[in-house]
Structure 1
Amino acid sequence: MSFTQISSTQAVGQGEWISKYRIEDLSSGQLMQEVDFANNVNIKYGSIFAGAEVNVTFTVELATTASFAKLNLRTNLQHSKLQQLYWELQSQDYVLLDYNPNSLKVEFNQVRGTLVMSLYGKIPITISSTIPVDYIFVTLYGPSGETLDTIEESVVTAAQDEFQSLLEIKQEKLQSLKDSGVAAGYVELYENVLDQAEDIADQGYVTSAINLLNSLSVSSEPVSGIMEALFLPIAGVLGVLAAIFAFLFFKGRGQISYLLLVVEDQIKDLEGLTLRISKIDRSIGTRLEGVRDRLKSLVGM
């Protein structure tokens, strides 16, 4: 069977070539990701951070021999400061070609067998400044430069990881609110804020999204009809304000003056609602006052 026939049946990222791998934090030794396609294992133990030094140990299964087919492995990782090499051959019986452990690539002939390698390096700090990035740690290339397989995982910043953890907590809280019969208006407000926070984070404003999620902490959730009547208009006000913030982020300067007038009107409505809410739940009222004051500062009122 020719090499071309073999490669045409192999799928990138499906375990046909790279059958399993582990990604560990090189500083702490913590296992962050484990994948074993043969045993249907794909476990994420922790987030992989931009700027982290990692150890990627992986297995390449070569089902057939094609003696004249030269394959190579390459990485985009920066050189590790904790290790003095990129590559470490674990399967000593597999022969590499002109092996240089400090090169960005290693070459070998396609010979039936199992190749096990460890790769050490640093994830570039700049690859994930705003949103999670699918980063390719290792690429296996065929003799004509075609991609046979990759090791690719999501890389985040610490802020992105904090947002995702906080979002999961708030989503669990949302479900508990629904299950416990909290006022529908409050549930709607809560759900709208979660949606807006995700949208803001997706645009790269992770810190703002975290602050928005943190605003959902209250001393107690409303269950009475009067509270529901108050929260429905608040949900509407916050929805309009969120849309305005998005507009301010992504539209041109020409329409900002009009938008500021709209914000000022919403602030006045929010002041009235804040006063009414404070008489029932001081904690919620205090948070709304904070929102009002920040909006005033934004528009110069």
Structure 2
Amino acid sequence: MDTRAHLPIGMFDSGVGGLTVLKALKERLPCEDVIYLGDTARLPYGSKSPQTVGRYAVQCAAELVRRDIKLLVVACNTASAVAIGPLREAYPGIPVIGVVEPGAQAACRASLNNAIAIIATESTIAGGAYQRAIHAIAPKARIIGHPCPLFVALAEEGWTEGDVPEAVATKYLTAIFNPASGTESPLIPDTLVLGCTHFPLLAPAIRSVLSPSIRIVDSAATTADTVQAELERLTLLRPNHGCGETRYLTTDDAARFARTGTRFLGTPITEHEVELVDL
């Protein structure tokens, strides 16, 4: 076994959304130690230029690499779209996994009619990262990208169940899955990609307004699967010596990180567990 197997996994996001990836990862690999960095002082990344996001991503990675990690997870759609290349160049000895490619691969496997819908933030849809990743695998795939910015606010506020999120989901998803009839019969997607790490919290509301036949791809879950496969390939899985530890870092307001992060992770985070760092 590689001696690096005992090192932690490093993970970063612009905020707390990436904790959905952490949650999925800990469910699959409970023995792994993880260091999670939320760059809350500089969020959102989606409104920044690709050059700025790339610089922020390398700075976040540097903080994690300084703490001796064996693998880096970019738990942020915006950073995954623009910074995977620069990160791999900056740290060639550390495997780097983003959230876009695993979600695209899972969507292509899931779709039977080659029609795939993606819901994400406006910047992720406009940037076309998922579209490019899917077309690289399935060039003839028909893709519908639809921004759902209110989902982010609902997840941040903890409004994930009930009439309000279901009404918002209905408003957004009707345009994709129940379009107005026109001159031609549209091809309805049979697969929906949750292309934002906030959106898994809204999965029950989203599922409630969709046909049971629609397959939902959670990019957080598929990223966790990819991490597991990569660690197995590199023989870097940590031995089963009990539950691994999780350390939390943030660049602003540890109390708010703990409060909001608790909702995303589904288990309590206390303020004293969160270390404030300056990048």
Short-chain TM bin: under 0.3
TM-score, normalised to structure 1, is 0.26
Greater Rg over alpha carbons, structure: 1
The structure whose RCO (Cα within 8 Å, separation 6+) is larger is 2
Flag the structure with higher strand content: 1
